[in-house]
Amino acid sequence: MASTPNAPSATGNAPPGTGSTTNTGSLPVVLKVTFNLVTPDGQRKIGFTLEKDSNGMAVTWTISFALYEKAAGATTFGDPTISLNVTVSPTLHANAQTASQNGLTDSQIAHATGPAADAAKALAAGTGSHMTASNSIQNTLK
């Protein structure tokens, strides 16, 4: 798979880049795709991982969201400001599947690096709620 900015990198039971896995027994189907998003000004980075799990009957999607911001005068990112794991609403499962296969759209990237990151930062600062941050992160998939 060629390296492309903001392109998905897949891990799981399938060859990288296929966007799917097969269940060869009683093991859960697992698909994990990570997007590393950097704002145009280079001051904010988002680690946005979509993970699909299945117990053979039900599918669960989870977003792992990590916000990194450069400190004043820094040239590299340090530890994440905040990291959150968000269970995706079943109404957004089709969107999660599409994003895992095709990558995030420009509007999804803008939402992840803007409103979703702002809501996560507010939670880290104690001025926002977990519900608001979780909903905003999930809304990246809309």
Instruction: Return the closest-CA partner of residue 44 out of 76, 64, 70.
Output: 70
Mapped onto helix, strand or coil, the DSSP state of residue 51 is: strand
Which residue ranges make up each domain of the chain?
9-141
What is the tens place of the pLDDT at every residue in 70-91?
A: 998 899 999 999 999 999 999 9
pLDDT by residue, tens only, the chain of 142 residues: 333 344 444 444 333 333 434 444 444 668 999 999 999 999 999 999 999 999 888 999 999 999 999 998 899 999 999 999 999 999 999 999 999 999 999 999 999 999 999 999 999 999 999 999 999 999 999 9
Long-range contacts of 92-99 (CB under 8 A, 24+ apart): 92/61, 92/138, 92/141, 92/142, 93/59, 93/61, 95/141, 95/142, 96/50, 96/52, 96/61, 96/63, 96/141, 97/52, 99/8, 99/33, 99/50, 99/141
Query: How far is the C-alpha of 36 from the C-alpha of 55, rounded, in Å?
Result: 28
The structure's pTM equals 0.80
48 contacts 37 by C-beta, under 8 angstroms: yes
